[in-house]
Structures are given as C-alpha cells and as structure tokens.
Amino acid sequence: MKRTLFFIVFLSLSLGAMSQAPKYSNEFLAIGVGARSLGMANAQTSITNDVTSAYWNPAGLANQSSDIQIGLMHNEYFAGIAKYDYAGFSMRLDTAATIGVSVIRMGIDDIPNTINLYDNQGNINYNRITKFSAADYAMMFSYARKSKIKGLSYGGNVKLIFRQIGSFAKAYGFGLDVGIQYRTGKWLFGAMARDITTTFNAWTFDVSEDMKEVFEATGNDIPENSLEITLPRLNLGAGRYFRISNNISSLVALDLDMTFDGKRNTLIKSDPISIDPKLGVEFGFKDIVYLRGGIRNIQEETDFGDKKSITIEPNFGVGVKIKKMISIDYALTNIGDSYFYSNVFSLRIDLDRK
C-alpha cells in the first residue's frame, strides 16, 4: 500500500512537471552524491576534487589526487521505499586531462499494479496483480583539463537521461554541464552551469484500452506524449583552507545556487532569479579523520498565526581515510527537504598506476 501511494505521488509530480512551469524537472539530479559533500550541505562548487566532481563541478576532476578513483554510494529513503544509487569512475589521461563516467539511479521498485485487479465479472482476483518499477537514470560522461593558466581548470559533462514508469511511460533526455575552478594560495573559486542548453526529456506513453477505461472511470486525464524541459541553473562557490595546527586543518566553503525559473522560497528571491546559499565546513586531523557540517535550505516560513521566521537545515558528517587508498564517509542529511533525515554512506577508492 505504501509503495502504491508513493507511486501515485511520484506519477502526479512527473505529470505535473510536464504540464506546468518546469521548476522541478529532473529533481533526482538535485540530490547530490558522496557523503562528504552531503555532510557539508552541498557546498562543493569550488572545493570538489575527486570522482564526485563529475556531479558537483567537472572541472574538479583535473585536481584529483590519484590516477584512478572509484566512488560508490547507496541510500534508501522513506523507510526503504525509494532507493538512490551512485557509481563513478575517473582516470587521469596525463598530467593535465582527466575523464570520468558516472551513473545515478533513483527508483521505487515492486509497485503493485492493481488496474486489472477486477476480472470481467467484477470479481477481485489477486493473481491479476503485477509489479513494476518507476525509476530515473542519468549517465554522465565527463572531461576536465588544467589550463595553461596556473590554478585554472575547466571541464564539462555530456548527460544522458532515461526515466521509466513500468511499461506505461518512458522518457529520454540530453543535456550539457560546464564548470571552471581557480585555485590560488589557500583560496578556491568555482562556477558550475548546469543544463546550459536546457535539458529536454521526451515522454512517450503506452496506455492500454483497459487503462483508458480505468482513467476515464476515475476521472483522470489520459496522458499524452509531451516534452519536459529543465532550465539552466548556475552555482557559484568560494572556499578557503586554514591550518589550525600541525595536525589540524579546516576547509570552509560557500555556494550560491542560482535558479532562473521564477521566485522560489529561498533566502534571496526575486522574479526570475532566486539564490539559495549553502555553507559547509570540514575539519581534518592528520588528513585521516574528518568532521563536517553545514547549513542549507534557508527559508522564510509563516505559521498559522501569520508569524514569519527563518528556518535552516543543518547537516552533519564524518569521514576516515585508510592508508590514503580507501575513504569511508558518513552524512546525516535531509535529502528531500522534508522533516526526515537520512543516513548516507559512501566509499571512495584511490589507485595509482605505479
């Protein structure tokens, strides 16, 4: 029952995004990857420098510390109903260029299809119940390169998207991302432009006659083939390293997430530009153990007495690096901007050709 209800909400959001202003198209790509990043409230544009950079800012791939990196993450939300998976691979081609491949999946599996629950005589037949999945996939092919200007790197993603709701509906999409990073001394700066060409998802529907009858009997519209678009957004970031003592260091990062699709409930809001700031901090001990935190989703809320207040979403994380080869990270973070926090674990493996 939970899966069926969650699927109805999932389907409603998908169809709604196609018929209304595309503010929340491809939202599964707004969650983020890597427990380190999520523990720092997604403030990564200027500081990201590992395999997850393909997601946060592809320019950061040029600054990864090893020849080859592998990143993995699995998480479950809403009591295990929704599953979110990430796998990434990046490799240096030479001292200047790095390539990467990343795969992201968010899905709800084993959803009961009860459309044919009743037979032709009006009797309930549980054997007629089948199961299906509603899942979103994204594959990113990344390239990054250090420029001839010291400290400057740039990169880009080619992004392929596939979204599927059982055998009833599917969509194919394509988009491009570009990013730059500049590092000077202890300061780091970055910019990431997502979906710069506007990402298009072409939806097709396969509605059987039985489904049409059910849709008509329940007062629902029969979906039609359509085009869903994801508008560009811009992330600007700055960060700085601090050396507190011989064994303790810190890294502070600030991101400004800029959207251009109308007024949103963010700290800085206008029409058409809204800005959502994110602040993250990381403390490291001997470059082995890390403690992280951050705030994001700063909003103005109004209670039932029309009293307004500012709310923030705190995030927390820890990490450990084993023999400079294996990094295990944990984050306690709010994935869906709801009241429920999720426990996120991720793994990164560093390999050198020698």
CA dist 227 and 298 (Å) reads 32
DSSP state of 127: G
The owner of tokens 């007629």 is: 128
User: What is the rounded (10 degree) CA torsion for 211, 214, 220, 225?
Assistant: 10
Give 142's contacts (C-beta < 8 A, 6+ positions apart): 53, 54, 58, 61, 90, 99, 100, 101, 102, 155, 156, 157, 158
CA dist 124 and 117 (Å) reads 6
Predicted TM-score of the model (pTM): 0.83
What tokens appear for 280 in the block?
């993250």
Residue 260: predicted pLDDT: 86
* 185 confidence band (pLDDT: 50, 70, 90): very high
Angle at 111 between CA 110 and CA 117, to 5 degrees: 120
Give 38's contacts (C-beta < 8 A, 6+ positions apart): 32, 315, 317, 331, 333, 335, 344
In contact, 26 and 17? CB cutoff 8 Å: no
By C-alpha distance, which of 134, 94, 95, 90 is closest to 111?
134
Give 74's contacts (C-beta < 8 A, 6+ positions apart): 83, 84, 85, 86, 345
Give counts: helices (H), strands (E), the chain.
4, 17
Q: Tell me the per-residue pLDDT of 47-98, one tens digit each, with 9 for 90 and over.
A: 999 999 999 999 999 999 999 999 999 888 777 788 899 999 999 999 999 9
Please, is 121 exposed, middle or buried when counting C-beta atoms within 10 Å of its C-beta (0-12, 13-18, 19+)? exposed
Class of domain 2-351: mainly beta
Q: Tell me the per-residue pLDDT of 272-287, one tens digit each, with 9 for 90 and over.
A: 889 999 999 999 999 9
In contact, 305 and 326? CB cutoff 8 Å: no
DSSP state of 220: P
Query: How would you classify the pairing of strands 82-92 and 226-230?
Result: unpaired
CA dist 72 and 348 (Å) reads 7
CA dist 12 and 134 (Å) reads 12
Q: Tell me the per-residue pLDDT of 103-132, one tens digit each, with 9 for 90 and over.
A: 999 998 888 877 777 766 777 877 777 788
* 301 confidence band (pLDDT: 50, 70, 90): confident
Q: Tell me the per-residue pLDDT of 7-17, one tens digit each, with 9 for 90 and over.
A: 444 444 444 43
Q: Tell me the per-residue pLDDT of 126-147, one tens digit each, with 9 for 90 and over.
A: 777 778 888 999 999 999 999 9
Angle at 41 between CA 232 and CA 300, to 5 degrees: 75
3-state helix/strand/coil string of 246-282 = CCEEEEEEEEEEEECCCCCCCCEECCCCEEEEEEEEE
What tokens appear for 79 in the block?
């009591």
CA dist 232 and 238 (Å) reads 21
DSSP state of 223: P
Measured in whole angstroms, how far is the alpha carbon of residue 75 from the centre of its chain?
12
Residue 219: predicted pLDDT: 73
Q: Is the pLDDT of residue 151 over 70?
A: yes
Which of 21-25, 155-159, 162-166, 195-199 has maximum average pLDDT?
155-159
- The domain spans of the chain are 2-351
Mean pLDDT of 148-164: 95
Mean pLDDT of 335-353: 81
Dihedral sign, CA of 173, 7, 84, 340?
A: positive
In contact, 142 and 157? CB cutoff 8 Å: yes
Which of 22-31, 181-190, 303-312, 337-346 has maximum average pLDDT?
181-190
In contact, 143 and 159? CB cutoff 8 Å: no
Please, is 9 exposed, middle or buried when counting C-beta atoms within 10 Å of its C-beta (0-12, 13-18, 19+)? exposed
